[in-house]
Amino acid sequence: MKMSIVGCILLLAVPCGAATAPKLRPAVTRQPPQPVCGHWVVKKVIPTSGISEAPNKAFLGLRATYLPAEMEFGQRVRIFNPLYKERRWSRARFFQASHISASELGIKCKSVLEVDALDHRGGEVVDVGTMLFIRNENRLVTLWNGVFYQLDRVGTPCGR
């Protein structure tokens, strides 16, 4: 319960007004947002009502890294000097786009923060681990082929 409260505080602390005013251009930065920056491990498949493919159990246990110089997801995805794009979704809009409620993913905040890892030129990379949703300070969710995976933080966040 305490972790959920901490996660909500983090989500609400990102750019003021982002949850209420639509952005025409999402924020793109070299530095991953604080809730994402660091090292992670894929812990489990999140059961949802909308799973469209069989989960890839080979992802379980894989390590992921989100740093300014590199983004890595196991041996499958590696981006040097990535850019990170933040986008905030209202819970209703997130449901319309994904057909999954934020609650099913364990996101208890008023809005959903999505962070996408882009290549060094800002080009979209379509692969596992490049689309993230912030659940709380120590837990992320990634989506691949209609299946949501939970990532748990390993170690301390960047800058701490």
Series of mean pLDDT values for 10-residue runs along the chain (160 residues): 30 32 68 94 89 83 97 96 96 94 94 96 96 96 93 88
Closest CA to 79 of 17, 21, 127: 127
The answer for residues whose C-beta is within 8 angstroms of residue 45's C-beta and 6 or more apart is 55, 57, 60, 147, 148, 149, 150
Which pLDDT score is estimated for 25?
A: 60
Q: What is the pLDDT of residue 21?
A: 40
Give the pLDDT of residue 24.
45
Q: Would you state the pLDDT for residue 52?
A: 66
Q: What pLDDT score does 51 carry? A: 64
Cβ contact 94:11 at 8 Å: no
What pLDDT score does 2 carry? 36
The predicted pLDDT at position 92 comes to: 96
